[in-house]
Structure 1
Amino acid sequence: MSDVRELLGRAAEDAGRPVISTEAVYAKAARVRWRRRAGISAAAVCAVAAGAFVVPGLSSGPATQDSSVAAPTELVGNSGRARDLGRLLPKGVGAVEQVSLAVIIKHATPEQAEEHPVGPLDGQYSVRRGGGVGYLTVDTRTAKKLDAKLGGAPRDTDLCKDRPGEPAPADCVREELPGGRVLTIWSDAMNYGGVTPEWGPELVGRLMLEDGSMLGIRDSTGFEADTAQGPLLKTPPLTRAQLRTLILSPELLRKK
């Protein structure tokens, strides 16, 4: 994990540049590993599974912004996707709204934050409960997009196996399911330190499908920064069992 910590430290020291999320830096660390190794690292696959994103124009230099940024209307609030996702969640989870993390964290413009969802409920959602704010992100990758992200490395890497100098994620459980599907769920303390925003602990789920595509869900307690929408949740929005139920819901799968 030294690559990750080194890059996170550089991001924290890079005054004058736009905020870089832990996800974006983690994805950059994964790309460094791809260049250094012939095979793929578990950390790189974890970053892809967690839906790591980089907003165009915000990761390489200072942003130019002439006015305050509002999130795209279709990405925020009690949208149709938020209502549909809410119907799949157990009672007591909290109030669910669709948001744009690129707008909230990186001050992206609506154009930069434009999304192209693959799955019917792909998106980023805030979950408000007990005075805190956590997040659920749902991200579907086609086999073609996934291969491009992984640089030709195998899609079915077993994340629960230790690799030299790189231990498996905490509480990692891998299930082989009917129809060639493989589900992996793990915990991430997100304690990389020294970076804004500082993400709280989360659960991550990755479902590899028989056609080579992947469905990933982040189940996060939230983040701490000046742009935070509220304090961290005490626990992720969903329990491990609830996350498993959600990621296996057919309503999340894209139509073929």
Structure 2
Amino acid sequence: MHGASREALAAARERLDALTDTPSVDAARLAEQLAAVTAFLDREVALRRVLTDPVQPGEARAELAGRLLAGQVDGPAVDLIRGMVRSRWSRSRDLVDAVEELAAVADLTAAEQTGALDGVEDELFRFGRIVQSSAGLRAALTDRAASVDAKSELLHRLLGGRAHPVTERLVVRLVARPRGRSLEGGLEAMSRLAAALRGRAVAVVTSAVPLTDGQKQRLGAALAKLYGRQMHMNLDVDPAVLGGISVRVGDEVIDGTIAERLAETSRRSVG
């Protein structure tokens, strides 16, 4: 998001944080209701254009949203959406993206409140790796001809009782409503949101063999010093790297693997 939409999302995040800090607000229920609003606005293209029309006064847009959602979702969700449509958005689609992000943050906050956020982060990463390594599973979860119910049932069989309920809910939403994203991309976005809740960034670390506890501690300290913030490290083992490690933080890759050194030597020889 850019410009007005980015500012509107930042303001909405502040309001969401205030809501989820209130003991009377159930963060998981709020997440479920915001996800329902996301699906509604995603379908109703004309409506979301009206709700983000800069020609209309912000309060008029908020009143319309309130009338539409009254009785459909609880007061906290209504108040949050009313505040969002009062803001200015660069594109109507940005409003839907923002509501979807807030739904994910609310669910992750529910996990944080019970001390389960680290486990959810790890589960999201591991499931992403499982999807990457299984062409059959990926095909089943992204098949446009398959019904949402069939995909949800498959995920329930895979994750039910094995993963945290927040992990399962987030994955089901990504599969049910991909909204133009790849499943892997959506899972990575969820991991970044989870890390950001604790002021951390995500580093994907790939090594030929599992790192020892000492190696993980030293690497975590080095990355925190390099990037100026704490890191949540998602650890992956890939024998193809031969030795050394590869670290990816966002779009930046620090590749110190033997495989990459051999490839670089080969490129130089050809050159």
Higher helix proportion (structure 1 or 2): 2
After TM superposition, the score normalised by the length of structure 1 is 0.26
Higher strand proportion (structure 1 or 2): 1
After TM superposition, the score normalised by the length of structure 2 is 0.25
Greater C-alpha radius of gyration: 2
